[in-house]
């Protein structure tokens, strides 16, 4: 048997065989993305485990209310409180919130903004005051004006007595009393406006069903 054909056949098989794959350089796997902290829970009108209903009302006009639940931070890299949960609605509305101390902020056109803490341990109803910013400013101005008139009258009368002013140049007692009464009346008109239009709320427990 002639070995030449078998040699050609072997050579043909070598040419037809695929070339061995070249080794690829090893690549380190990409670094995992930095894990971000979980965002705050969304407080809405849907019941959820561990939450209680908080009903918000405003007597005169709707107010936009933001509720925040915060927790203290132990890590030194992130000082300050962390926002655990937050929600917003327009009164009247109801939010399911976690138990504990909550920060409440409310705003409305023409009203003083409210920023305070409330404690919620069970189903709660909160009625927000609706203090007028314009009337509160009027009350502040009247109170300051009345106090200024009274202080100025007393200061002038006292200075004249100390400096020994002539009787004709001194402020007459009737005038001093009249100015003091006028200042008291002006201040008396301003103080009720400050009291009525103060910020605040009234809290009550919701009846259990």
CA distance 105 to 112: 11
Q: What is the pLDDT of residue 50?
A: 83
- Report, as an integer, the average pLDDT of 158-174: 67
Q: What is the pLDDT of residue 47?
A: 84
The confidence band for 104, taking pLDDT boundaries of 50, 70 and 90, is very high
Token pair in block for residue 164: 């020994």
- Whether 86 and 134 have beta carbons less than 8 Å apart is answered as no
CA distance 183 to 148: 7
Q: What is the pLDDT of residue 77?
A: 62
Classify the phi-psi angles of 164: left when phi > 0, otherwise alpha if psi is within -120 to 50, otherwise beta. left
Question: Does the pLDDT at position 95 exceed 80?
Answer: yes
Question: Does the pLDDT at position 28 exceed 80?
Answer: no
Q: What is the pLDDT of residue 21?
A: 41
Question: Does the pLDDT at position 172 exceed 80?
Answer: no
Contacts of 76 (CB under 8 A, 6+ apart): none
- Report, as an integer, the average pLDDT of 184-202: 92
CA distance 115 to 132: 15
The chain-wide mean pLDDT, for the chain, equals 76
What's the chain's Rg over C-alpha atoms?
39
pLDDT digits (tens, 9 = 90+) for 105-115: 999 999 999 89
Q: What is the pLDDT of residue 75?
A: 57
Percent above pLDDT 90 for the chain: 26
Secondary structure (DSSP) of 7-34: HHHHHHHHHHSPPPPPPPPP-PPPPPPP
- Whether 124 and 56 have beta carbons less than 8 Å apart is answered as no
- In this structure, the chain runs to a length of 209
Q: What is the pLDDT of residue 24?
A: 39
Q: What is the pLDDT of residue 78?
A: 59
More confident residue, 95 or 3: 95
CA distance 33 to 16: 47
pLDDT digits (tens, 9 = 90+) for 33-43: 333 344 567 77
Q: What is the pLDDT of residue 176?
A: 76
Q: With b meaning 16 or more CB within 10 Å and e meaning fewer, what string describes 12-46? A: eeeeeeeeeeeeeeeeeeeeeeeeeeeeebebeee
Tokens 């976690």 found at: 98
């Amino acid at each position: 048997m002639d070995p030449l054909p078998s040699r050609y056949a072997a050579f043909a098989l070598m040419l037809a065989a695929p070339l061995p794959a070249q080794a690829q350089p090893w690549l380190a796997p990409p670094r995992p993305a930095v894990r971000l902290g979980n965002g705050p829970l969304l407080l809405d009108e849907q019941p959820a485990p561990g939450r209680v209903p908080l009903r918000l009302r405003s007597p005169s006009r709707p107010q936009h209310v933001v509720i925040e639940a915060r927790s203290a931070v132990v890590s030194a890299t992130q000082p300050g409180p962390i926002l655990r949960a937050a929600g917003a609605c327009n009164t009247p509305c109801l939010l399911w919130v976690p138990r504990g101390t909550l920060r409440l902020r409310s705003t409305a056109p023409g009203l003083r903004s409210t920023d305070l803490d409330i404690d919620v341990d069970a189903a709660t109803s909160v009625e927000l005051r609706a203090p007028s910013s314009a009337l509160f400013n009027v009350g502040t101005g009247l109170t300051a004006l009345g106090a200024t008139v009274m202080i100025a009258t007393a200061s002038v009368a006292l200075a004249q007595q100390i400096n020994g002013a002539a009787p004709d140049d001194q402020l007459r007692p009737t005038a001093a009393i009249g100015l003091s009464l006028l200042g008291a009346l002006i201040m008396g008109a301003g103080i009720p406006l400050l009291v009525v239009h103060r910020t605040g709320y009234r809290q009550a427990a919701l009846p259990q069903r």
